[in-house]
A and B are shown apart, each in its own frame.
Chain A
Amino acid sequence: MMINKYLAIVSHKSVRIACTGLLAAVCAASAFAHKEVMHERHEGFEDMGGAMKAINGQLKSDAPNIAKIDKNAEVIAALAVKVAGWFPKGSGPEAGKTDALPSIWEKPEEFSKSTEDFVAASKALTAATKGSDVAAIKKQFMALKETCGSCHDSFRAD
């Protein structure tokens, strides 16, 4: 008798709608929670790409402007330390449009090693850009570029 009454309530249309609504709201809230960090990381990677492009442009020229290279290297180094924090669990493809691969959360040790390599390379570049040795800057820049590429190979779609 009690069970029947209970079933009658659960199967009631308005209750079902409310439950579905609640579930949708929970999903939306969790997606929304990551929206901000996903936006920040997108902007951050875009700024680092811009800085990479600017440094590369200087290094390709006949007379590289080391002050400009240093400024952009500092931009990368300041953002590099944030990368590890830009990928909270649940901020992958399930949360919206992103090229972040699920492998980031499936292989957390490898991913964190990648971010550490990146931070180290960015610091090595800013150390080099304090000097005037263009060849040394180029060497560190290429090493930094390698860390971008190797991480993208494993953890970024396409």
Chain B
Amino acid sequence: MSQTTPTAVITAQQRLWDWPVRICHWSMVMLIAACWWTAEEHEIVYHSYCAYALLGVVLFRIYWGFFGSSTARFSQFLRKPSAVFAYLKSLGQREVKPASGHNPLGGYSVLALLFVVLLQIGLGLFAIDVDGFDGGPFADYLSFKTSRMITGWHEIIFNVLLAFIALHIAAIVYYLLWRRQNLTAAMLRGKTSAPGITPMQPASITRAIAGIALAGLSVWLILSLPF
């Protein structure tokens, strides 16, 4: 019966990613793109606004990694090195049991991406544009030369970030073409019809609100640091 009726397949869908994880993910995509574009156009004021918003999203995501839904938690997706090696060995296989969240390697990819984005924002706070006019709020405390040196690192780390993003997209394409699993659809809709999934355990809305408040407060505190 379940083989013939498509509705049975739909009802078999399991929740995989909660809305805070999905909002964090897609807002990071948009904000990183916006940061890149505003930097290209030397619109440093707008670049800063996008970066502050991105900082808030990243801080919330880190909080959610400790207090959020089951699939959002670092404790669930940062696995032992042996699990990562076992996963790497299975890369050639087409038929694999879908992961109930991040796969063992993907978990570390999340950690790496969050770290690189945070580092990038941290450097940006001290960077200054070539005209010596617009810059990060902490550039005021540095000489132009020092600030420009940090801006050079800011450009290098952006390329590192692009490399990690490329790797991330390559992994998704690999899953789509080789393993016939559409991870993007799951990150958009939050659900998956993949068999054998352990459903995500959501966290309360109160925790999400507390996290948003905490992330917002943290950004405000960082920006108003007197140094």
Chain A residues proximal to chain B, CB less than 8 Å: 46, 48-54, 56-57, 60, 145, 148-149, 152-153, 156
Contacts and interface: CB of A to CB of B under 8 A. Distances in A.
Contacts of B145: 46, 50
> Chain B's interface: helix, strand, loop or mixed, by majority?
mixed
Interface stretch (B96-104, B124-132, B179-187): B124-132
A49 B42 contact: no
A156 B130 contact: yes
Contacts of A53: 128, 132-133, 135, 139, 144, 147
A145 B135 CA distance: 14
Contact of B140 (A57, A148, A152): A57
B143 interface: yes
A49 B140 contact: no
Contacts of A50: 132, 143-145
Nearest to A55: B132
Contacts of A46: 144-145, 148
A48 B130 contact: no
Given A50-B143, A156-B130, 11 more contacts: A49-B130, A49-B131, A49-B144, A50-B144, A50-B145, A53-B128, A53-B144, A53-B147, A56-B133, A145-B133, A149-B42
Contacts of A145: 131, 133
Contact of B130 (A51, A54, A152): A152
Nearest to A46: B145
A153 B147 CA distance: 21
Contacts of B132: 48-53, 56
Nearest to A152: B130
Contacts of B133: 52-53, 56, 145, 148
Nearest to B42: A149
A48 B145 CA distance: 11
Question: In this complex, which of B130, B131, B135, B143 has the most chain A Cβ atoms within 10 angstroms of its Cβ?
Answer: B131
A48 B144 CA distance: 10
Contacts of A54: 144
15 contacts: A46-B144, A46-B148, A49-B128, A49-B144, A50-B144, A50-B145, A52-B131, A52-B132, A52-B133, A53-B128, A53-B144, A54-B144, A60-B140, A145-B131, A156-B130
Nearest to B135: A53
Contacts of A156: 130
Contacts of A52: 131-133, 144
B195 to A, nearest CB: 50
Nearest to B41: A153
Contacts of A149: 42, 131
B80 to A, nearest CB: 43
Given A50-B143, A57-B140, A152 B148 contact: no
Contacts of A152: 42, 130-131
A45 to B, nearest CB: 8
B131 A148 contact: yes
Nearest to A156: B130
Top 3 nearest A-B pairs by Cβ distance?
A52-B132, A49-B132, A50-B144
Interface in B106-159: 128, 130-133, 135, 139-140, 143-145, 147-148
A149 B144 CA distance: 17
Question: In this complex, which of B42, B133, B143 has the most chain A Cβ atoms within 10 angstroms of its Cβ?
Answer: B133
